Structures are given as structure tokens and as C-alpha cells.
Amino acid sequence: DLQMTQFPSTLSASVGDRVTITCRASQTISNWLAWYQQKPGKAPKFLIFKASTLESGVPSRFSGSGSGTEFTLTISSLQPDDFATYYCQHWDSYSWTFGQGTKVEIK
């Protein structure tokens, strides 16, 4: 079975920092890779799809890249509203798999 592993699991950063979260697949996957932001007690928010396409309304400081087995979510300049948990998720042939999440904390 496909496994999606995110690292780090927790990241401490300051406002203004450039932050990168990595999502690694246990096998080569297609670019049907999405990223979500989730705040405590709230539903996830769809940020990026097809590895690098920004969902409408998502700030341009968020970007996604990658292919094969390794994908990244980058926040170019961390803002106070960005402290949250981030999840990657892959879709392939009626199977949807999430990473375990990366918590971005205030340093």
C-alpha cells in the first residue's frame, strides 16, 4: 500500500521565515498531489492541487512543487495566520491517501 510520509512532523518558525514541508511517497506517484491547511477545531482548507496549482483565493506565498516520490509545500514568508497543521494527499485510481501532517508552530 502507498504510504505518504511528511517531514518534519513539527516545525518551529518565526513570522517572515521561509518554510518548506516535504511529502515523500513510498513509490513513484502521479502529480495528483494536494496540500491542505487545518487549524484546531476547523475543517481542512484546500490549498494546492496537481502538486503545484494554487486553489483560488489562496495567497501567493504558498507554492507547491515536486514529482516522482518527493513533493514540497513552501510558504515564502510565514504569516501569523499560517500557524497550523498541513497535510499532503495523493489520489490514484479510487484511492486517496493522506500524509500524517506537519504542525507549524510559533518559534
Q: Give residues in contact with another protein (CB under 8 A).
A: 32-34, 36, 38, 42-46, 49-50, 53, 55, 87, 89-91, 94, 96-101
Residue 17 to residue 100: CA distance in whole angstroms: 23
Pairing of strands 53-54, 45-49: antiparallel
Q: How far is the CB of 71 from another protein (least distance, A)?
A: 13
Distance in Å, CB of 94 to another protein, minimum: 5
Question: Least distance in Å: CB of 14 to another protein?
Answer: 25
